[in-house]
C-alpha cells in the first residue's frame, strides 16, 4: 500500500513557492485521507537507499512530526492516531525504520533514529514493541553490516533512553542497554565514530541509568570509563565526555564525593591547556556544582531540619585551587567580545563561574580574589585591567555587606575614573561593575553622588554596548532612592538624568534595539523611585514629551515587516513609560490632575496603537490603559465604546496568554473605575470570561485571574450580578472541586492551586458583598458548598498565607452578607473556631485583623 511520493517530496522543497505550496497541500491531503498509507509510503522512502538524500530526510522529518508535536493537545491527538493504526501496518513501518539504521547515508539513519525514539516513547510503556531493544543490541554484534550501523544503533539507544523511563523496561534490559553503550566507548574495540556516538548516547541515557548509578560497582565502572573517555585524543570525544560529566554533576551530585579529586585534576588540566570547546565544558562542570550547592543552600535555609540530600561543600573544599584556575581564564578575553552577542568564550564562562562560586561560599572568596584585582587593575595591558574589573564585579554578590562595603567604598572612586579608560572592554566591564555595586550595596552618599551622576551621564554617550550597561547602572542607582522619602538626594539631578536618557533612547548608532529599550526602562525606574512631591513637576513635563514620541511612531510609513516590528517595539517601550508615569502621578490626589488633563489624548494614542496592530492586542498598551482607568475613575466611561472591542480582542487571545491575562486584569481596573456604569458592557465580558474558563487551549495561569475578575464585576454592579449567578457559580464550584484534586507533590502545581483557591475566594467575596443588603438570599443555596470548600482549604496545613487571608475574609463575608440565614451552617461546622484561633495567633497584623473581624461577624449571627 505504499505510494510513490518521491516527486511530491522533491516539489515540497522546491525554491518555487507555488510548486512548494501545491506539494505541501497534496501531502496534507494524503495524510488526512489515508494516514496508514501515508506513513508506510514515507517509511519506504526513508529506508530506500535508491532514493535521493533530500527526499529521504524530508520523509523522516514528516514521520517524526506525525508522532510528536510541541503542543500537548496536538501531541495527544497524534499518539491516538498512531495507536489506532492496524498492528500489521505499524510493524511494517517499524521494520522499515530499523532497516534504515543500516543505511550508508548518515542523514537517513540519523533521522530514522529519532523516529524510532518517538515510536518507542509511545509503545515501550505499553509493552507494544518488545523486540526493539533486542534488535538494537543485536546490531552491535553484526560483523557483516556496515560500520555505521553501530554508530546509528548507539545513537538510537541514546534517543530511546532519553524518551522512556528505566521503569518501562525490565532491569535486565536496562543493564544490557547500558552495557552496550558503555562498551561502545571502549577505546580498544571501536572506531572514533562509534566511540563518539556511544559517548553521546550515554549523555542521553544518564537519567535512565539511575538504578545503575545507585550501585557502587556499576557507578565506579561508568565513572572510570567516562573519565578515560575525557582524556581521549579526539577533541570531539573529550568534549562529549565532559558534557556527560556536567550532566552527572547535576543529576548525581550526592554521589560524586569519591570522584572529586580525580574530577578536579581532570577539569583543571583541561581548563589550562585544552581546546576551548572542551575547556568551556570543564568550567561548566564547576558552574553546575555551584548550581546544585546554591539550590541545597536555598532549600536548607527555607526548610530547616528537613534536608533531602547532604551538602558536600565541594566548592568550599576546592576553593584554594579552583579560584586561581578561574582567575586565569579571565585573562583569555577576545577582542571585541563585548560587541557580539553570539560569542561565548573561556573568560566569559570563567567569570560567570566565579560569580557562582562567590554566591556559594560568600566571604571566603574575597581573600583569593582581591590580590588578583589589586595586582592587575593598574597594569598597562588592558587584558589585566579588564580581568581585574570583571573579577571584582563578579564577586559582589555572595560575600557579606560588612566585608564588601569597605572594599567598595575604597574602590568606588577608582572605578569611576576607570570609566575613562582608553580601552572599551575595560570601560564596558567597569560600567557593569558599577551597576552591580549600586544594585547590591548601599554606597551612595551626599558626598559622592554628584560625581557618580556626572560620570554616568558622561559615559552614557559612550559606545552603545557600554551605554547599555551605564543605563543599567543608572537604573540601580535610582532604585537605591526608592524609599528615600523627602529631600531625596537624587531629586536635584532628575531633569538632567531624564534628558540624558531620552537622548540615549534617540541614538541611531546602535545595531539593535537593546540600548533604546534599556534607556526607556531606566527612565521608568527613575520615575518610579523619585519622590513624588519633589519630582511631580518634572514627571508632568515628561508626560507630553513621551506622548509626542508615541504619536511619531503612529505617523511613520511602515513598509517592511522589520519596520513593523521596530514600531511595535518602540511603542511597547513608550507605552511602558506612560504606564509608569500614569501610575506614579495617579497615586496621589494632588498629582492626579496632571494625568486627567491629558486623559483624552493619552487614550486616543493607546487606541491608535491598538488600531495599528490588527492581529493582536498590544500588551504594553493594554497594561497602560489599566493604569489610566484607575487614574481617571468614572471619567473612563467615555472611552468604553471605542475601547471595548480591544478588551474583547484581548479576552479572546488564547495564544498569547499574557495578553489575555493582562486584559482580564484591566477589566478589573475598569470595574473599579466605573462601578455600575460598566453594566452595559458586562454581558459580552462575562460571556468571554466564561468561554476562557472553559477553554482547553488557554494557558491555565489566566484562569485564577478570571475568578478574581468575577469578584471585581460583582462588586461593581452589585445586585445586577444576579443574572450571571447561574453561569458563574457552577464554574466556581467546579473549580473549587478541582482544587481538591491538585497534585501536592509538584511545587508549581501547588503554587497554581493556591492562586486558584485565593481567586475563587475573591470571587465569592465580591459577589457576597455585592449582594449584601439587597439580594443576599440568592447566595443562600451556595453557602454550604462554599463553607465546605473553606473547610477543605483550612484542613490543608501547608496552605499559603495569602490563601488563609482570603479564606478567613470570605468566611466573614459569608456571615456578614447572609447573617442569621446560615446560623445553623456555622453551628454544624465547628472547624472555623480552630481556624480563627490559628489566624488570631499569626504574626501577620493584617491576617489577625481580618480574623478578628470575621470572628465578630460570626459572633454576631451566633448570638442573634
Residue 156 binding other proteins, by CB under 8 A: no
Among 566, 772, 775, 785, binds other proteins (CB under 8 A): 772
What's the angle, vertex CA 571, arms to CA 568 and CA 573, rounded to 5?
A: 115
356's CB contacts (< 8 A; 6+ apart) are: 286, 287, 290, 291, 294
Give me the residue label for grid cell 509538584. Answer: 746
Q: 692 by DSSP, 3-state: which?
A: helix
Contacts (CB under 8 A) with other proteins, residues 274-333: 280-281, 284, 287
Among 38, 129, 372, 390, binds other proteins (CB under 8 A): 390
Question: Judged by CB under 8 A, which stretch of 41-49, 255-263, 649-657, 668-676 contacts other proteins?
Answer: 668-676
Among 184, 765, 779, 835, binds other proteins (CB under 8 A): 765
Q: Are 326 and 354 in contact (CB under 8 A)?
A: yes
Residue 462 binding other proteins, by CB under 8 A: no
Q: Which is nearer to other proteins, 280 or 539 (CB)?
A: 280
Query: By rule CB under 8 A, what string of x and - marks binding of each residue 411-450 to other proteins?
Result: -----------------xx--x--x---x-----------
* DSSP, res 398: S
Question: Judged by CB under 8 A, which stretch of 209-217, 619-627, 690-698, 785-793 contacts other proteins?
Answer: 619-627
Among 123, 274, 338, 692, binds other proteins (CB under 8 A): 338
Question: Judged by CB under 8 A, which stretch of 172-180, 261-269, 454-462, 471-479 contacts other proteins?
Answer: 471-479
What CA–CA distance (Å, rounded) separates 138 from 739?
50
Contacts (CB under 8 A) with other proteins, residues 238-267: 240, 243, 246-247
> Residue length, the chain?
864
Provide, rounded to whole angstroms, the least separation between the CB of residue 824 and other proteins.
20
Provide, rounded to whole angstroms, the least separation between the CB of residue 765 and other proteins.
5
Size of the site for other proteins (CB under 8 A): 88
Residue 36 binding other proteins, by CB under 8 A: no
Q: Are 246 and 280 in contact (CB under 8 A)?
A: no
The number of C-alpha atoms within 13 Å of 807 and in the hemisphere containing its C-beta is 27
Q: Which is nearer to other proteins, 472 or 753 (CB)?
A: 472
Q: 693 by DSSP, 3-state: which?
A: helix
Provide, rounded to whole angstroms, the least separation between the CB of residue 517 and other proteins.
8
Query: By rule CB under 8 A, what string of x and - marks binding of each residue 480-499 to other proteins?
Result: ---x-x--------------
Burial of 338 (0-12, 13-18, 19+ CB in 10 A): buried
Q: Which is nearer to other proteins, 59 or 809 (CB)?
A: 809
Burial of 294 (0-12, 13-18, 19+ CB in 10 A): middle
What's the angle, vertex CA 757, arms to CA 798 and CA 759, rounded to 5?
A: 140
Among 38, 203, 253, 636, binds other proteins (CB under 8 A): 203
Among 36, 650, 711, 753, binds other proteins (CB under 8 A): 711
Residue 862 binding other proteins, by CB under 8 A: no
Contacts (CB under 8 A) with other proteins, residues 37-56: none
For the chain, what is the largest distance between any 2 Cα atoms, rounded to a whole number of angstroms? 94
Contacts (CB under 8 A) with other proteins, residues 627-646: 627, 630
CA 841 to chain CA centroid, Å, is 37
Q: Which is nearer to other proteins, 8 or 434 (CB)?
A: 434
Using CA of residue 546, residue 551, residue 557, residue 561, what is the dihedral sign? Answer: positive
Residue 720: C-alpha distances to residues 267, 689, 717 (Å): 70, 17, 6
Q: 9 by DSSP, 3-state: which?
A: helix
List the one residue out of 747, 664, 676 whose CA is nearest residue 709. Answer: 664
Contacts (CB under 8 A) with other proteins, residues 106-145: 114, 117
Question: Judged by CB under 8 A, which stretch of 55-63, 492-500, 596-604, 762-770 contacts other proteins?
Answer: 762-770
Q: Which is nearer to other proteins, 5 or 470 (CB)?
A: 470
Question: Judged by CB under 8 A, which stretch of 49-57, 371-379, 710-718, 727-735 contacts other proteins?
Answer: 710-718
Q: Which three cell numbers stand for residue 438?
A: 549600586
What CA–CA distance (Å, rounded) separates 647 from 640?
9
Q: Which is nearer to other proteins, 318 or 519 (CB)?
A: 519
Residue 856 binding other proteins, by CB under 8 A: yes
Buried b (16+ CB within 10 A) or exposed e, 841-864: ebeeeebeebbebbbebbeebeee
Query: By rule CB under 8 A, what string of x and - marks binding of each residue 792-811 to other proteins?
Result: -----------------x--
Question: Judged by CB under 8 A, which stretch of 444-452, 681-689, 721-729, 812-820 contacts other proteins?
Answer: 812-820
Contacts (CB under 8 A) with other proteins, residues 536-575: 572
Question: Judged by CB under 8 A, which stretch of 73-81, 157-165, 225-233, 729-737 contacts other proteins?
Answer: 157-165
Residue 199 binding other proteins, by CB under 8 A: no
Residue 805: C-alpha distances to residues 51, 797, 809, 841 (Å): 68, 14, 6, 13
Contacts (CB under 8 A) with other proteins, residues 358-387: none
Q: Are 85 and 128 in contact (CB under 8 A)?
A: no
Q: Which three cell numbers stand for residue 475?
A: 537604573
Amino acid at each position: 500500500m505504499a505510494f510513490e511520493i518521491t516527486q511530491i517530496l522533491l516539489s515540497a522543497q522546491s525554491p518555487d513557492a507555488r510548486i512548494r505550496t501545491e506539494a505541501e497541500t497534496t501531502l496534507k491531503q494524503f495524510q488526512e485521507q489515508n494516514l496508514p498509507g501515508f506513513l508506510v509510503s514515507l517509511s519506504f522512502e526513508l529506508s530506500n537507499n535508491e532514493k535521493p538524500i533530500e527526499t529521504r530526510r524530508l520523509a523522516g522529518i514528516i514521520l517524526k512530526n506525525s508522532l510528536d508535536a510541541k503542543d500537548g493537545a496536538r501531541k495527544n491527538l497524534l499518539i491516538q492516531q498512531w495507536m489506532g493504526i492496524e498492528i500489521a501496518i505499524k510493524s511494517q513501518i517499524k521494520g522499515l525504520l530499523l532497516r534504515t539504521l543500516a543505511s550508508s547515508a548518515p542523514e537517513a539513519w540519523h533521522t530514522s533514529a529519532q523516529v524510532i525514539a518517538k515510536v518507542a516513547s509511545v509503545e515501550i510503556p505499553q509493552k507494544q514493541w518488545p523486540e526493539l531493544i533486542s534488535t538494537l543490541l543485536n546490531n552491535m554484534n553484526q560483523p557483516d553490516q556496515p560500520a555505521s550501523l553501530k554508530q546509528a544503533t548507539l545513537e538510537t539507544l541514546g534517543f530511546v533512553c532519553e524518551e522512556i523511563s528505566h521503569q518501562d523496561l525490565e532491569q535486565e534490559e536496562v543493564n544490557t542497554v547500558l552495557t552496550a553503550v558503555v562498551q561502545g566507548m571502549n577505546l580498544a574495540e571501536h572506531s572514533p565514530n562509534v566511540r563518539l556516538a556511544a559517548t553521546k548516547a550515554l549523555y542521553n541515557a544518564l537519567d535512565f541509568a539511575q538504578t545503575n548509578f545507585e550501585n557502587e560497582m556499576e557507578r565506579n565502572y561508568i565513572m572510570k570509563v567516562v573519565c578515560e573517555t575525557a582524556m581521549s585524543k579526539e577533541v570531539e570525544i573529550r568534549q562529549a565526555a565532559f558534557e556527560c560529566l556536567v550532566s552527572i554533576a547535576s543529576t548525581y551530585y550526592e554521589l560524586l564525593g569519591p570522584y572529586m579529586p580525580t574530577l578536579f585534576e581532570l577539569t583543571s588540566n583541561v581548563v589550562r591547556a585544552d581546546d576551548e570547546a572542551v575547556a568551556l565544558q570543564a568550567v561548566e562542570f564547576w558552574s553546575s556544582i555551584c548550581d546544585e550547592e546554591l539550590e541545597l543552600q536555598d532549600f536548607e535555609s527555607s526548610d530547616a531540619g528537613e534536608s533531602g540530600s547532604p551538602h558536600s561543600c565541594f566548592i568550599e573544599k576546592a576553593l584554594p585551587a579552583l579560584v586561581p584556575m578561574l582567575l586565569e581564564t579571565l585573562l583569555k578575553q577576545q577582542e571585541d567580545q563585548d560587541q557580539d552577542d553570539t560569542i561565548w568564550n573561556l573568560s566569559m564562562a570563567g567569570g560567570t563561574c566565579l560569580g557562582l562560586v562567590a554566591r556559594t561560599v560568600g566571604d571566603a572568596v574575597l581573600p583569593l580574589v582581591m590580590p588578583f584585582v589589586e595586582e592587575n587593575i593598574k597594569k598597562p595591558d588592558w587584558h589585566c585591567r579588564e580581568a581585574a574589573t570583571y573579577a571584582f564585579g563578579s564577586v559582589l554578590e555572595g560575600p557579606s555587606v560588612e566585608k564588601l562595603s569597605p572594599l567598595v567604598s575604597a574602590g568606588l572612586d577608582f572605578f569611576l575614573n576607570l570609566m575613562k579608560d582608553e580601552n572599551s572592554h575595560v570601560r564596558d566591564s567597569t560600567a557593569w561593575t558599577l551597576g552591580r555595586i549600586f544594585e547590591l550595596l548601599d554606597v551612595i552618599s551626599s558626598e559622592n553622588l554628584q560625581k557618580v551622576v556626572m560620570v554616568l551621564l558622561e559615559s552614557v554617550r559612550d559606545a552603545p554596548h557600554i551605554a547599555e550597561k551605564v543605563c543599567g547602572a543608572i537604573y540601580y542607582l535610582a532604585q537605591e532612592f526608592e524609599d528615600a522619602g523627602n529631600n531625596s538626594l537624587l531629586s536635584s539631578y532628575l531633569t538632567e538624568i531624564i534628558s540624558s536618557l531620552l537622548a540615549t533612547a534617540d541614538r541611531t548608532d546602535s545595531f539593535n534595539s537593546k540600548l533604546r529599550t534599556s534607556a526607556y526602562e531606566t527612565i521608568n525606574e527613575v520615575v518610579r523611585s523619585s519622590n513624588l512631591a519633589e519630582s511631580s513637576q518634572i514627571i508632568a513635563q515628561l508626560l507630553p514629551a513621551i506622548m509626542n514620541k508615541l504619536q511619531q511612531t503612529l505617523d511613520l510609513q511602515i513598509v517592511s515587516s522589520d519596520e513593523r516590528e521596530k514600531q511595535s517595539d518602540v511603542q511597547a517601550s513608550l507605552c511602558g513609560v506612560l504606564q509608569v508615569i500614569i501610575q506614579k502621578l495617579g497615586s496621589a490626589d494632588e498629582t492626579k490632575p496632571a494625568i486627567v488633563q491629558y486623559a483624552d489624548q493619552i487614550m486616543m494614542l493607546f487606541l491608535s496603537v491598538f488600531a495599528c496592530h490588527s492581529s493582536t492586542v498590544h500588551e504594553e498598551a493594554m497594561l497602560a490603559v489599566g493604569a489610566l482607568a484607575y487614574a481617571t475613575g468614572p471619567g473612563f466611561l467615555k472611552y468604553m465604546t471605542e475601547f471595548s472591542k480591544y478588551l474583547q480582542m484581548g479576552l479572546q487571545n488564547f495564544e498569547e496568554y499574557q495578553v489575555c491575562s493582562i486584559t482580564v486584569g484591566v477589566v478589573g481596573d475598569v470595574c473599579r473605575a466605573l462601578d455600575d456604569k460598566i453594566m452595559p458592557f458586562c454581558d459580552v465580558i462575562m460571556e468571554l470570561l466564561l468561554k476562557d474558563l472553559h477553554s482547553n487551549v488557554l494557558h491555565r495561569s489566566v484562569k485564577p485571574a478570571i475568578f478574581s475578575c468575577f469578584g471585581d464585576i460583582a462588586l461593581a454592579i452589585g445586585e445586577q450580578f444576579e443574572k450571571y449567578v447561574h453561569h458563574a457559580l457552577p464554574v466556581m464550584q467546579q473549580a473549587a472541586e478541582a482544587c481538591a484534586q491538585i497534585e501536592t507533590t509538584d511545587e508549581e502545581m501547588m503554587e497554581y492551586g493556591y492562586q486558584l483557591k485565593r481567586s475563587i475566594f475573591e470571587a465569592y467575596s465580591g459577589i457576597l458583598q455585592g449582594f449584601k443588603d439587597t439580594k443576599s438570599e440568592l447566595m443562600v443555596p451556595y453557602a454550604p458548598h462554599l463553607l465546605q470548600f473553606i473547610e477543605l482549604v483550612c484542613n490543608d496545613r501547608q496552605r499559603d498565607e495569602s490563601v488563609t487571608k482570603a479564606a478567613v475574609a470570605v468566611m466573614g463575608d459569608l456571615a456578614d452578607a447572609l447573617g442569621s440565614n446560615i446560623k445553623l451552617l456555622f453551628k454544624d461546622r465547628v472547624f472555623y473556631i480552630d481556624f480563627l484561633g490559628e489566624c488570631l495567633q499569626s504574626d501577620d497584623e493584617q491576617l489577625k485583623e481580618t480574623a478578628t473581624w470575621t470572628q465578630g461577624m460570626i459572633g454576631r449571627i451566633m448570638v442573634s
